[in-house]
Structure 1
């Protein structure tokens, strides 16, 4: 029997995908903030990629200055509200909390962060604004965490900024790629509307930049261009049967789920291929959609998975079963998916090898491939002088975000190969300042 029944209404969907970090009440925020020790040289600050002064904003909440707390957060991280919900706080700020050394529950930093920022968003509190116009114009490609954060910082420095977004909504993976039990569409889009209202950048939706003439036009109209394009579709495995109906990429599966909610269909038996955090999300989502059996299959051991331990625990908590040291050989089926043929593996000196004669089939009705995302090389190769490394990541200066084509700057997944929302937001501020330094010469 499935852990969850298949949701058929929006209310049932919301119940199945209840928020992992629900919004705190005022009393909860006061109590939780009172637990903070306000450490000197606080390790939570060091653990935060965007360097938020966490003890400062918690103290502000505790003294009733919620607006000041939100300002402290947003000054360091323009995705402050989203990051309070989607960040792996368990291994970042909360994982570094000194209470862990005393076997005491760490401060719920993420929920406190969401509490303060939600209040200013709901009240549309004016905290920031564009700087005095300096005559510079910058184009930003991509309205994800990197692109939006770069735009906010550039506007604060006085630049005119236009964002070109291929999709119909902003926020990138925060809307299209994060599990609904971490953040809702309404929450993600509310923060995007708030930031645009604060800084006044322009966003052109349904406006993909895909050709050399379009790139030439941007170069003619703008002084610099920021690449916040992220990654592409789920990488293929080259398996026989991979193109059968009901064999889908995890990125595409999660994006559809975020858009249509309970209208998405999953089979009663689902196999998820992969061992990263996206695989954990896809498996957990399939279970919450009512799949009777969800099997997470990974080619290495459980201890070698790239996913955070708490993400795997979350998947197990909704009934997902792990199958380790197995590699997919074929997606079995005639007209639709009927199963996956696996071969058992062994890891020797860090290398995965197949065990001869160990093939077996796991019957299933749906396969979700969480096998990484492809780099957008076809587009990047259109830009003259832009260099990529051996893994398809854009080569850029770590201190300025400037690429090998000096008018282009970048951050986020296109540069780091795939990291957290907070990393993209933090790197984008650095890149925006790099653009400012470059154009100020």
Structure 2
């Protein structure tokens, strides 16, 4: 769209003083101190058949680890957590506990104030990582078997660690120059501070028997056929490589941006003041990425940030807690609006967006024809990611719903190949779910290698 309803643009860096950048991107939640952790732990009823444990994708024994905190045994508590979830430190920071363990907490049901399970988990795992240099798990004697893990994100790291515990040698092939996947590149900076993602990668590697080769992308430096020939087994933790587009004219214009790419840039910069952000920002989407980019542009100094979502509040993938977090940061969330046209000036720069009101009739979402125009220096696309299957096109692997088809143990249609995380059909787009996928697949790979 070439009309110039809005002609002024204000995109620049250095909108804030350095002290504001530092405070804005500090920990979202201050970690519990010893006294706070013990007091909070004593709120737990230590339920038999605890619903919180059932709600945890990795089946952490939550009552046990909380009881261990209550008797001043944080190291033992951390081991209980990490035995089921080796990335328990990161999950304590980024898990949507409000829709998982804490949502079903008996105290939540009774009084609307659940035990702070996520913060207690962080207290225990942080304590272990800070207080001991010894890895909590011992590596079994070497089996002589070699496994290739493609992707150094949560699924790949979880799989590699469990395989190493069983004595297998693992090589992780990671396309980027830093491992961690979305934990390193895609999660809001205020949720995981002080380089924690890399500290956790180093912690995982501490068990031994795991080597990482960076800059090795599937379909470029490596291919699946060769990996199957060279290694005894292969695990694919590829994540989602592509993002969905708006399908509008002008999508390539200056100012129409991929939210995931911007978050990665933000996460990897050493100086937040160098990041350019608009005065007026519009985010399209209703999931966690939309919330994360909206809050972070606001924290970078954007004056007006609006999330536009095509359905109602109850349909948003982002939890109510995350929606409220955005609103408390000054983000406006507008529902029942879908993008209709991007507005650009004569220099092919985004200056606004036209949105169409929507309505749902008989389970079908339709535009009403009524529109509204918003001024926007930047429009961020946060409408989901999709799996790039082109790197597997010659491998003959079965797909389902455009992702890798696996059974309940992560086994693909190809011999010696397993997969897990976001790249598989039914992937839940949660760090904790990816960790579980990697762990389950590793156990099945170990059974296969032990025949």
Question: TM-score, normalization: structure 2?
Answer: 0.92
CA change 1:214–1:393 in 2 (3 A) is closer
CA apart distance, 1:410: 0.7
Which residue of structure 2 lines up, in the alignment, with residue 290 of structure 1?
Answer: 301
How far apart, CA to CA, are the structure 2 residues paired with 1:117 and 1:375?
A: 32
Which residue of structure 2 lines up, in the alignment, with residue 155 of structure 1?
Answer: 164
Q: Which has the higher strand share?
A: 2
CA contact (8 A) 1:342 1:360 kept: yes
2:333 pairs with 1:325? no
1:42-91 C-alpha deviation (Å, 9 max, x unpaired): 11101110000011111111112111111100000011100111000111
Match of 1:365 among 374, 377, 381: 377
Structure 1 unaligned regions, length at least 5? none
Q: Which has the higher helix share?
A: 1
Write out the 4+ residue segments of structure 1 that deviate beyond 3 Å after TM superposition.
5-8, 211-214
CA RMSD between the two structures: 1.6
1:16-66 C-alpha deviation (Å, 9 max, x unpaired): 123222211111111111211111111110111000001111111111211
* Structure 1 SS opposite 2:223: helix
Which residue of structure 2 lines up, in the alignment, with residue 171 of structure 1?
Answer: 180
How far apart, CA to CA, are the structure 2 residues paired with 1:267 and 1:233?
A: 25
CA apart distance, 1:417: 3.8
2:66 pairs with 1:58? yes
Equivalent pairs, count: 432
CA contact (8 A) 1:396 1:403 kept: yes
CA contact (8 A) 1:341 1:360 kept: yes
CA contact (8 A) 2:151 2:237 kept: yes
1:136-157 C-alpha deviation (Å, 9 max, x unpaired): 1100000000000000000011
Match of 1:26 among 34, 56, 79: 34
Q: How does 1:121-132 map to 2 (within 5 A)?
A: 121-123=129-131, 124-132=133-141
Q: How does 1:19-418 map to 2 (within 5 A)?
A: 19-123=27-131, 124-184=133-193, 186-211=195-220, 214-260=223-269, 261-334=272-345, 335-356=348-369, 358-384=370-396, 386-389=397-400, 391-398=401-408, 400-415=409-424, 416-418=426-428
How far apart, CA to CA, are the structure 2 residues paired with 1:315 and 1:86?
A: 15
Deviates more, 1:124-133 or 1:224-233: 124-133
CA contact (8 A) 1:340 1:364 kept: yes
CA contact (8 A) 2:168 2:209 kept: no
How far apart, CA to CA, are the structure 1 residues paired with 2:252 and 2:138?
A: 49
Structure 2 unaligned regions, length at least 5? 1-13
CA contact (8 A) 2:291 2:323 kept: yes
CA contact (8 A) 1:6 1:288 kept: no
CA change 1:427–1:215 in 2 (3 A) is closer
CA apart distance, 1:317: 0.7
CA apart distance, 1:213: 6.4
How far apart, CA to CA, are the structure 2 residues paired with 1:213 and 1:109?
A: 41
* Structure 1 SS opposite 2:341: strand
* Structure 2 SS opposite 1:338: strand
CA contact (8 A) 1:7 1:16 kept: no
How far apart, CA to CA, are the structure 1 residues paired with 2:159 and 2:122?
A: 21
1:279-300 C-alpha deviation (Å, 9 max, x unpaired): 1111111111111101111111
2:439 pairs with 1:424? no
* Structure 1 SS opposite 2:187: coil
